[in-house]
């Protein structure tokens, strides 16, 4: 098997494993790609394989999404929830479009920054997980509209690779009074428009430089990400309900520290 395909397979598995847990999938993929010497056209691979993770969560939540779709025309609670998702999505959509070039050409190319953000995010996650926060919201469909917006603003922090989209939304949700399980579940729902938008925008921006030779690599990463993400989504909510987020905080600290040591040692 071609070495690049093997690398794409490994990176796809890593994407699926880390996309929905608060450890920064993009940070992990960029670091792994750096040390593997993996290069993708326009850094598109790292974004486009997220479609596998998007389809994974759509498949797991298909029944609930279908109910939301059928209830939407007549149920005010459902209408309010969909509006809340859109409100939470808009800040990252606007900032991501405005800062796309800087994010892809500068932040994506700075491994030391990724490691530092992994460490900082790990410390924040450990601290917030241990704080005696009083949960006021237990159902993702019942947040105040202002809370949806604040969580969306927290998601903007994930424009810096290594921060973690899910980590930013989960921490923001918990600080806004959302319980741990609902925080993770809302990050799933917010991921759908956010990741789909990033996928579509990146595909559009790279439409002139991607070629047929890129398709097998992207397809391999996509399939691997889909399979692994399905497994993670099925079990994550029960895990965080019982154990919280400490494991992921320590995970970030270890990966960020090892990454910095490797960068200083090997470049």
Under a CB-based contact definition with an 8 Å cutoff, are residues 209 and 41 in contact?
A: yes
Alpha carbon distance 96, 267 (integer Å): 29
For residue 38, give the nearest of 15, 67, 72 by alpha carbon. 15
Residue 114 — very low, low, confident or very high, per pLDDT cuts 50/70/90?
Answer: very high
Burial 193-213 (b: 16+ CB within 10 A, else e): bbbbebbeebeebbeeebeee
Percentage of the chain exceeding pLDDT 70:
97
Tokens of residue 216, six digits = 């097998």
pLDDT score, position 267:
67
In the chain, what are the domain boundaries?
3-266
**Average pLDDT taken over every residue of the chain:** 91
């Amino acid at each position: 098997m071609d070495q690049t395909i093997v690398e794409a397979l490994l990176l796809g598995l890593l994407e699926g494993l880390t996309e929905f847990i608060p450890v920064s999938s993009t940070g992990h993929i960029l670091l792994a790609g750096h040390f593997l010497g993996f290069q993708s056209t326009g850094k598109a691979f790292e974004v486009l394989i997220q479609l596998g993770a998007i389809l994974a969560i759509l498949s797991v939540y298909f029944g609930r999404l279908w109910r939301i779709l059928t209830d939407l025309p007549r149920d005010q609670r459902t209408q309010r929830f969909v509006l809340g998702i859109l409100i939470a999505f808009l800040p990252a959509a606007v900032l991501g479009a405005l800062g796309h070039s800087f994010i892809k050409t500068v932040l994506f190319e700075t491994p030391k920054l990724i490691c530092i953000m992994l460490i900082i995010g790990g410390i924040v996650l450990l601290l917030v997980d241990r704080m005696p926060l009083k949960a006021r919201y237990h159902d993702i469909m019942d947040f105040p509209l202002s809370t949806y917006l604040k969580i969306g603003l927290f998601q903007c922090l994930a424009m810096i690779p290594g921060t973690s989209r899910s980590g930013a939304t989960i921490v923001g949700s918990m600080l806004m009074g959302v319980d741990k399980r609902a925080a993770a579940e809302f990050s799933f729902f917010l991921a759908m428009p956010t990741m789909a938008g990033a996928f579509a925008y990146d595909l559009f921006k790279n439409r002139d430089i991607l070629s047929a030779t890129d398709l097998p690599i992207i397809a391999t990463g996509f399939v691997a990400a889909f399979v692994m993400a399905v497994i993670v989504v099925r079990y994550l909510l029960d895990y965080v309900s019982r154990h919280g987020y400490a494991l992921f905080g320590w995970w970030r600290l270890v990966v960020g520290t090892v990454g910095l040591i490797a960068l200083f040692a090997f470049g």
